Amino acid sequence: MPQGGRPPHLAKIWALAERGDAGEQAAARNRAEALVKPHGYTVADVPDLLLTKEYLDDEPQPSAGGFTFYDMSNPAHQRAYAKAEEKKRAAWRMANRAKMDEVLARYGSEEAVFAHTAEEKAYDAVIKHFSPSLRVRAALATVKTWPGIIPNAIGEVAAPSYLRLLASVRANSSAGPR
């Protein structure tokens, strides 16, 4: 977005919206709305946008430490964050393309990769009806602590490496888990 992060001539258009006659005010408000709406703002946001220099810049600037902080109330920062995350996913997919191709060749399709296995279906069926009492949970917790996340559970049972790869592919797929 040009001119310090604001649409061109927004200040002049807004001045007409505030001080012009009735017809000019309505036309200026409509024009201001047309300028800011594509960036996720409304007419009510215009006064704040005029006070905030470069608020709508597409790319947030990295801090001195090299970290980029995103203001998630700023639609431009939301778009930049989404772009950065997509770049990370694309880099991961490129780095792991051979592994992904191997998994796809083994399963035949992306849908088959995300389909529940017979073992997963059996676990779901058992867990669906399993509701241990507090006493049972306390007893089980003293025997072995519960893993916090699925990859930890897979690691604890020393599953074959393809299960770890499958979990990794599922976690980093562009389509996301199903």
Contact 17, 28 (CB under 8 A): yes
Kindly report, residue by residue over 26-40, the tens digit of the pLDDT. Answer: 998 999 888 888 877
Question: Higher-confidence residue: 54 or 69?
Answer: 69
Q: What's the pLDDT score for residue 23? A: 86
Q: 85, 79 in Cβ contact below 8 A?
A: no
Q: Are 48 and 13 in contact (CB under 8 A)?
A: no
pLDDT band at 1 (very low <50, low <70, confident <90, very high): very low
Confidence bin at 152 (pLDDT 50/70/90): low
Helix axes 161-172, 97-107, angle to 10 degrees: 110
Q: What's residue 151's pLDDT?
A: 66
Each residue's pLDDT tens digit, 86-137: 888 888 888 888 888 888 898 898 888 888 888 888 877 877 777 778 887 7
Question: What pLDDT was estimated at residue 154?
Answer: 60
Mean pLDDT of the chain: 76
pLDDT-derived band at 174, boundaries 50, 70, 90: low
Over residues 4-16, the pLDDT tens digits come to 455 567 888 888 8
pLDDT at 46 over 70: yes
- pTM listed for this prediction: 0.38
At 64-78, the pLDDT tens digits run 777 888 877 777 778
Residue whose structure tokens are 């006064």: 47
* 3 — pLDDT class (breaks 50, 70, 90): very low
Residue pair 71/77 in contact by the 8 Å Cβ criterion: yes
